[in-house]
Amino acid sequence: MQNHPTSDDPLVLYGQVFHSRLLLGTSRYPSPSVLEAAVQRARPAMVTASLRRQGSNPAENGQRFWELLRQLQVPVLPNTAGCHSAQEAITTAQMAREVFDTPWIKLELIGDDYTLQPDTLHLVSTAEHLIREGFQVLPYCTEDLVVCQRLVDVGCQAVMPWAAPIGTGRGPVNPYALQLLRERLPVPLLVDAGLGLPSHACQVMEWGYDGVLLNTAVALAQDPVSMAGAFADAVQAGRTAYRSGAMQAQDAAQASTPVLGTPFWHHDTP
């Protein structure tokens, strides 16, 4: 089954139209050829790349990787992975804008090395600074409603809460908070981190999320290419289900077979 998003329901971020609701990471794949095949199968809206991990000088830090990114012909979303301070994140974002020639940035500001939980105390002010500099910021954050609302208040036109800590594959560990975010925030929401199965992606899309960003669940699968396709199909299925309007759950059983008459009947035996 191939993923064919409908043109009448595009993902729109900062005024730009994307015809896929899946974003794909580019690290930890078995080989560049597997990464390329996975991207071709999933047809994502964007692929992420970390400037800090790859380095800013292609001649010294993997010319092949940079060439591959260009060959993929998919928009690149640079990120500030590994940054632990606001100044680190701002400097990395500025370098990424020059290297990739794009105003897009996935803002990661790590506050805890064990869980890789975002630094929610400084995330909002960092995002505000980057927005003032003209960046189109996609902030990676927790499911905290107040933090997400503050990110919107300072100008973030989309927010990317986690479902679970990065790389855990546990799926949505706090469904209540994630669904509350969807109810309260009027901007696009993309789940970023913690999804492990296509069913996880389908579930959050059924809740009304606008997209998902994946890396580990695809890259570390036994067959990353097939898994990339499975996630792409699941994202589209979840979006279609959300737009279709699911039936309300019932407490009691409801017969689904119509009764047109009673061809048989019982009578008392004398």
- The topology under which CATH files domain 18-221 is TIM Barrel (3.20.20)
pLDDT at 136: 98
Q: Is the pLDDT of residue 179 over 60?
A: yes
Is 194 known as a binding-site position? Answer: yes
For β-strands 22-24 and 211-214, DSSP reports them as parallel
Q: Is the pLDDT of residue 109 over 90?
A: yes
DSSP-based helix, strand, coil % in the chain, nearest 5: 40, 15, 45
Identify the weakest region by mean pLDDT among 171-180, 216-225, 244-253: 244-253
Round to whole Å and give the CA distance between 107 and 126: 9
Question: For a pLDDT cut of 70, what percent of the chain falls above it?
Answer: 88
Radius of gyration (C-alpha) of the chain in whole angstroms: 22
Identify the weakest region by mean pLDDT among 172-181, 193-202, 209-218, 261-270: 261-270
pLDDT at 60: 43
Q: Bigger pLDDT: 144 or 1?
A: 144
Prediction pTM value: 0.87
What is the tens place of the pLDDT at every residue in 67-89?
A: 888 888 899 999 999 999 999 99
Q: Is the pLDDT of residue 183 over 80?
A: yes
What is the tens place of the pLDDT at every residue in 149-158?
A: 999 999 999 9
DSSP assignment string, 88-156: HHHHHHHHHHHHHT-SEEEE--BS-TTT--B-HHHHHHHHHHHHHTT-EEEEEE-S-HHHHHHHHHTT-
Q: Which of 55-69, 144-158, 254-268 has the highest mean pLDDT?
A: 144-158
Q: Is the pLDDT of residue 1 over 70?
A: no
pLDDT at 68: 84
Measured from the Cβ of residue 134, the count of other Cβ atoms closer than 10 Å reads 8
Q: Bigger pLDDT: 254 or 149?
A: 149
Is 193 known as a binding-site position? Answer: yes
Q: Is the pLDDT of residue 267 over 70?
A: no
Can you point out the beta strands (E) in 69-165? 76-79, 104-107, 136-141, 160-161
Is 167 known as a binding-site position? Answer: yes
Q: Is the pLDDT of residue 34 over 60?
A: yes
- Give yes or no: 138 in active site: no
Kind and range of the H or E element at 211? strand 211-214
Q: Is 2 left (phi over 0), alpha (psi -120 to 50) or beta?
A: beta
Show me where the domains of the chain are located.
18-221
pLDDT at 3: 45
Is 215 known as a binding-site position? Answer: yes
Q: Is 235 left (phi over 0), alpha (psi -120 to 50) or beta?
A: alpha
Question: Active site residue: 41, 52, 97, 106, which one?
Answer: 106
Q: Is the pLDDT of residue 118 over 90?
A: yes
Q: Give 24's DSSP letter.
A: E
pLDDT at 192: 94
Question: For a pLDDT cut of 90, what percent of the chain falls above it?
Answer: 74
Average confidence score pLDDT of the chain = 89
The Cβ-side half-sphere exposure at 125, using a 13 Å CA radius, reads 6
pLDDT at 256: 74
pLDDT at 74: 93
